[in-house]
Amino acid sequence: MYFLRADPYSEKLVLLKYATSHINARRIGYMQLTSAAFGDELLALTQRVLSEMGRDAPLLYLVPPSDTLNQTAFDAFANGKPQVIIVDGAIDAHTMQFVEQCLTDPRTKDAVLLVSSGLSELVYSVYAALASAGAITPVDMQVVMSSTNILPTETSYNHIRVFTQEMDKWIADGNSVYSDSDPNIYTTSVSIGEMMVAGWLVGKVVLQTLNRPAWTTSRSAYMKGVFEQNRYVVEGDFVLGDYGGACDYADVATSQGAVCSCNQGGRTTYLKHLDADLQLRFFSDMNLNYPNAQCGASAYQMPQPVSLVSFKPTDNAVMSAEFDYINEAVNAAINAANNANLIFHIGTFSGAMGKESTLYGEHVSAHVTDVFFGVTSTTFDTGDTLMMNPVHPYPAPNPNSSNIVTLVPTLEQQLFVLYAFFEYLIQHGSVVTSSTPIALVTKGLSESQESVVEIVRKTAITFGLREASLREVVVGTCIVGGLHSSGVNVVVGFETGDAVGVASFLQENPDALVVLTYADFTLYYGELLSAFSLVSVDVQARFYTLTSLPLWTDNSSSAHAASRTLRAYHAIVTNSSEWNPRGLETYAMFKFVSTLARLTTAVNCAQLRSALYLNSNNSTDHTTYEAIRRN
């Protein structure tokens, strides 16, 4: 036997990869008729992969072969409300009835059907018939199928272009059963066209074997020749092999790259999807490859999916824009990452701020969630799920929750460092003296107001400095209304329009300084940059913020040598006008999550938390986050 297509294991794996890393389904269904070829092995593979990921075991429809659907078994299966259903049946009436029931039963009709290539034609015919009868409304990508070769519509591949030329000529010359009835058959029926490509590939390989004179001297010479470490390249961009026979010294041979006792040539499996127009289309980035040295895919280690989730507010323009930017930055980091063992998935839920808990509960009931990141109100908590670098509309004290992780300084830390800086300046007779008035100007803190005031008071006492005077500015009015014309103004809380006001205020009041929290600074960085570009350098010098990040605009060799994180960020974001603190912070957050994920055996909430708190120093790109402890 000489197999030119990928094996059944790789087809199952690419479907599982899609279910776990693309759909990120919490409930996966699995249909199998017992005693089917490879059935037990493929089910065991599915269960092993899900277990290694820390996912729930699949919901099973597991019955003996018969001519009719087992309604009792189906009801038990459907009551679990699977979100995706892997169909591993036979080409028979039972499987047809199962597929039809899945597509029409209220409990399963919205599930995505995942089908290996052998059942593609059956599932396609059932879906098309139901759509034609008006029993279902076709939607894009409700049916996803594996494929062991590329579809004939994908003419960006050279071997498909050659196939098209040769098949067109073959049909035009009257050699095909479709020559008169449908000369464009491989495009009008992509499923038939797919099989034509498979047959054409077989022919191309056979021709290559016959072009080796030493192999064609006898049957035995041919049988020996085709297993002599062979690889076939069809028209430059479709590869089959390696094939190898028995090796006398297998351990030594395989260690040096030989393939022994392998009759399996396909190393790549593809995915295609059925759309609402009943046309099959190719996923360009969903294929699964395994190394040439590995004869089959049964031992393939699936990359671990890492499920990230973020919240998009629909009632706050500033936070919605921040969501867009942060998610774009995370996607850029994912695309640039070289994480062969990790696959990142970003899920999103949206709604009004303050409603996150309800919306999040609905999201996690359907999707596995490992890490929450991005914008949210201060009252939202994800329970056991890690919340990385939450971004709030207004600054807030650290909630002291073990699931909330901030890689940038907390408000408490910023205020401590600020007062330490004041102490240093006073001791050295600089711009701040013991008599310099310090004002705390707040806006929008609501329930955090008292806590922030108390933190500032205690911090001042710690350093033996005078207490700050307090001014609270009403939301919707400019922060300038609370600023003092001389001394230090520590601003906690900012809004759109405040940046222009602060720049003008400092220009008009040369004895005043303004210190803005990191949270406000990053949220309104664009406005601040624009406003302060219109004032002189000496005015800019009286505006401060606090951060632990390297300067995001510094692309000097010394800065890059000091911070691999900064260097990598600049390599991803090449346009210097786009460099900003939120982008650098988000990239650092992504790298930190990647590091945590690599410390787990299965990426899930529990293991990520263990990795976080069992490592006293968490380091990534030479950036160390120290002494993270449970509260």
Mean pLDDT value across residues 223-235: 95
What digits encode the pLDDT tens for the residues 83-141? 999 999 999 999 999 999 999 999 999 999 999 999 999 999 999 999 999 999 999 99
Q: Is the separation of the CB atoms in 210 and 217 below 8 Å?
A: no
Confidence band of 403 (pLDDT split at 50, 70, 90): very high
What digits encode the pLDDT tens for the residues 556-612? 999 999 999 999 999 999 999 999 999 999 999 999 999 999 999 999 999 999 999
What digits encode the pLDDT tens for the residues 142-165? 999 999 999 999 999 999 999 999
Q: 68 to each of 30, 71, 101, how far by Cα in Å? A: 18, 9, 12
Confidence band of 631 (pLDDT split at 50, 70, 90): very low
Is residue 529's pLDDT more than 60?
A: yes
Q: What DSSP state is assigned to residue 25?
A: B
Average pLDDT, the chain: 93
Is residue 297's pLDDT more than 90?
A: no
Is residue 628's pLDDT more than 60?
A: no
Is residue 222's pLDDT more than 70?
A: yes
537 burial (CB, 10 Å; 0-12 / 13-18 / 19+) is exposed
Picking from 152, 190, 146, the residue whose alpha carbon sits closest to that of residue 288 is: 146
- Beta strand ranges found along 112-252 (DSSP E): 112-115, 143-147, 230-234, 238-243
Q: Is the separation of the CB atoms in 32 and 94 below 8 Å?
A: no
Q: What is the pLDDT of residue 305?
A: 95
What tokens appear for 48 in the block?
């092993």
What digits encode the pLDDT tens for the residues 44-79? 999 999 999 999 999 999 999 999 999 999 999 999
Q: Specify the higher pLDDT residue, 82 or 301.
A: 82
Dihedral sign computed on CA atoms, order 140, 112, 358, 305: negative
Is residue 296's pLDDT more than 50?
A: yes
Q: Is the separation of the CB atoms in 43 and 16 below 8 Å?
A: no
Q: What is the pLDDT of residue 1?
A: 86
How long a stretch of residues is the chain?
631
Q: What is the pLDDT of residue 627?
A: 46
Q: What is the pLDDT of residue 59?
A: 98
Q: Report the C-alpha gap between 59 and 82 in whole angstroms.
A: 7
Q: What is the pLDDT of residue 615?
A: 73
Q: What is the pLDDT of residue 501?
A: 98
Q: What is the pLDDT of residue 616?
A: 55
Q: Is the separation of the CB atoms in 328 and 366 below 8 Å?
A: no
Residue 442: phi and psi, rounded to 5, are -115, 160
**Which amino acid makes up residue 364?**
V
Q: Please state the separation of Cα 545 from the chain's center in Å.
A: 32
Query: How many percent of the chain have pLDDT more than 70?
Result: 97
Q: Is the separation of the CB atoms in 264 and 296 below 8 Å?
A: yes
Q: What is the pLDDT of residue 271?
A: 96
Q: Report the C-alpha gap between 121 and 353 in whole angstroms.
A: 47
Mean pLDDT value across residues 320-330: 97
Picking from 561, 552, 98, 11, the residue whose alpha carbon sits closest to that of residue 298 is: 11
With a CB cutoff of 8 Å and minimum separation 6, the contacts of 233 are 239, 240
What digits encode the pLDDT tens for the residues 470-525? 999 999 999 999 999 999 999 999 999 999 999 999 999 999 999 999 999 999 99
What digits encode the pLDDT tens for the residues 253-274? 988 989 999 998 888 999 999 9
Q: Report the C-alpha gap between 372 and 604 in whole angstroms.
A: 12
Confidence band of 82 (pLDDT split at 50, 70, 90): very high
Confidence band of 626 (pLDDT split at 50, 70, 90): low
Mean pLDDT value across residues 13-41: 92
What digits encode the pLDDT tens for the residues 326-368? 999 999 999 998 777 899 999 999 999 999 999 999 999 999 9
